[in-house]
Structure 1
């Protein structure tokens, strides 16, 4: 087990990064950094966090404890283990919350790696086994640095991600999500969890996966979707949702889709609340593709097709009034 730097070392390294260390302290810092590979790795992680914090205006005025609580609520049930560990994580948490960017966090014993997507960005990461994941906003993937790809390929997902798993017949790739477990050898799929509702949903794109919970398990084929809820009931069927990967691709597809479903997909994709006042248009159908377009551009096209009126009630709420299916 690797020892964690003392508070004095953390303070020394911080002064070194801030160019506030004297010549003797600089020598002490360099001596400590070059003493071992783990020290070098720790310093690089600290440096990355420190430089990211410089991008935040008036960073010294930020309440780190408050940002830490926001970060824990939105991302991870984090555990604190000593004041230095908390301080390092709090700075990184503030970077994630305030900048909304993705981040990679390692705990003080270098045992866990946290891959994080902030509120405003989708993040792509390559894992040590050459698997690639795309994390949706406000999502997180956790794995053990010490054992992943050495003893096993186990990860924990909070939120939503698309996985392109590298093949390894000797070490299956296992994902823990809520109370479910997904076991694969090499495949691609979308996995989504909700900690509030307890719902976990997987759509298989290629390959084959085993999806299980405490009471049941199923095998999925490409094109199938499986879901489970807090009651542990597993449901498997053919996937009819064309937009389950829109958060990753930026593309929204509709084929004779009723407008109520169109607006529901727009709500999810653009993170808005859309209310249809005229129930006479909810069953109007739409066949089209929106390719990485802004919400404003999409709304303008729909207005031309269905002649409705849009009222923006605030930054997140949109009211749709009037309109007709026959234009």
Structure 2
């Protein structure tokens, strides 16, 4: 089994729990997820199997889209509804004020990672320190909010969709919006709608995956590895160049079309089998050539 499962993670399970469950029902050892979802969150969790685990680093870097609920007026220590309430304040902001403040977070955004997160500091995860009652200084990280679409505002409850870069904490965004409005706030629920090219519309529940596995043909629900790189140009190598390329040699790119230096491309053999992710580099003769970036065979 070499491919990617578009899993619909249920709330109440950690991302590791999902992988452990799938390892058991699929009976495979090489398996891993591509970006942690909080235990209370639901939604798209791409899971790589077999040789596709080599693509985890690329999938983890992809942009994400979430649907979230912001509850204004109540702050918690975890910035979500699973934490202890630490402050309650009256919500005096108008609908217009709420809309304006939320939209102000679009663009580059310096975000402080929450204590209840998997971010590591001195070899320890922040949530491990938080559970021991230890709070440490954190360094803000640059993230990007591509868009925020407000779906509804009813009293102190705001539901919105947000597209963002990797490493963005939506519960921290909710908390920061509340702080900027002067009333505090926390995240009520979170659903990941998209992770890269993987969409919740096509995601499979754990029950659906189990049922397919029990029928003996789980491969039919796998997405091919090269889908991860669908936004890259592709190249088909002839037999001679394929052999040279797979042996670590440089393949001159001129006869295959126009490519830019450092450009990444999907590499296939003449029969259409996906081989690797390649990169355009200069060889010793200063010719633009193809070299292996990541092999998938």
What is the TM-score when the length of structure 1 is the normalising length? 0.22
TM-score (ref. length: structure 2): 0.23
- Select the structure with the greater relative contact order (CA < 8 A; seq sep ≥ 6): 2
